[in-house]
Amino acid sequence: MAGKAFCQTPVVTGVDFADDPGKLYVPLRGMVSAMGLNLGGTEDEPTVEGKSFPRLRELFDGTKLVALDDLGALGAKLAWDKATQTATVVLATKTVTVHRGVKRAEISKAHQELRAYQGDILILQTHVSTGRKGHATPSGSFAAYSKERMHYSRLYDDAPMPWAVEIDGNVFIHGFTSVPRRPASHGCIRMPLRGKNAARYFWHWVSIGTPVKVG
């Protein structure tokens, strides 16, 4: 209607980690912008309105995440709706809606790549190694069925499989010392242990029941 301005409440996607149940995190920069606040400090130690946050987490690419509960240090009020998995954050005249994103992981055998998402946020992107000829990784829609910090293969001489996530019988997503950018496994999906340790990061984030699409 002419002559009237309508202000839509900003919506931010929330991220949670299986190793930190009950905590919901949001991208710090995006949340600060939505709340109309000023981000300062350094890249490694950011501050908001002069206040720092001791419990920051990160996406795999280094994007800083802040726990919703910690926004109380800025004077923000938080209300949680369990039915809709939505939080309302109010600070002075600003209101921001935070919705817990739905988790999913996608594995491309053609590109030998895994991408993990929560809502519209790319949590993790890494190269992988799927099953070689004669041991092809099955395609289809699966889910994270179980998790073990260390699993030992029942089929291949008790081979160690750290940060193992079972998705289909004896098919696991797990860390491995050798992850060439081509099919090389006995059917599992190998993830790198080196560098930032994508296998460990994925294990700590993924929840039992998270959909996993392989194709």
Among 149, 118, 156, residue whose Cα is nearest residue 15:
118
Q: Residue 56: helix, strand or coil by DSSP? A: coil
Is there a single domain that holds both residue 81 and residue 114?
A: no
Distance (Å, whole) CA 27 – CA 147:
26
In a domain, 201, yes or no: yes
Query: Residue ranges of the alpha helices (H) in 84-139?
Result: none
- Is 33 among the domain residues? yes
- 138 touches 171 (CB < 8 A): yes
Say if 27 falls within a structural domain.
yes
Q: Are residues 76 and 177 in the same domain?
A: no
How do residues 166-212 score in pLDDT, each as one tens digit?
999 889 999 999 999 999 999 999 999 999 999 999 999 999 999 99
Q: Based on the domain organization, do 59 and 84 belong to the same domain?
A: yes
Residue after which a domain boundary falls, among 100, 115, 138: 100
Alpha helices in the chain (DSSP H): 28-34, 198-205
Whether 31 contacts 39, CB under 8 Å: no
Q: What is the pLDDT of residue 1?
A: 42
Q: Which domain covers residue 172, as residue numbers?
A: 103-214
Give me Rg for the CA atoms of the chain.
20
Given this model, what pLDDT does residue 212 score? 98
Task: Provide the domain count of the chain.
Answer: 2
Check whether residue 86 and residue 110 sit in a common domain.
no
What is the structure's pLDDT at 153? 80
3 within domain boundaries? no
Q: Which residues of the chain have pLDDT under 70?
A: 1-7, 157
**Do 34 and 133 fall within a single domain?**
no
Whether 59 and 142 share a structural domain: no
201 and 175, same domain (yes or no) = yes
- Of 78, 100, 122, the position where a domain reaches its end is 100
Is position 200 within any domain? yes
Q: What is the CATH number of the domain that holds 146?
A: 2.40.440.10
* pLDDT at residue 7, rounded to an integer: 56
Asked if 23 and 115 sit in the same domain, the reply is no
| Residue 79 shares a structural domain with residue 155 | no
Classify residue 60: in a domain, yes or no: yes
Q: Is residue 19 part of a domain?
A: yes
Q: Is 72 helix (H, G, I), strand (E, B) or coil?
A: helix
Q: How far apart are the first and last CA of the chain?
A: 48
Asked if residue 108 and residue 48 are part of one domain, the reply reads no
- Among the three residues 32, 66, 100, which one is the final residue of a domain in this structure? 100
Residue 4 domain-assigned (yes or no): no
Same domain, 37 and 88: yes
Specify whether 71 is located in the same domain as 108: no
The residue count of the chain comes to: 215
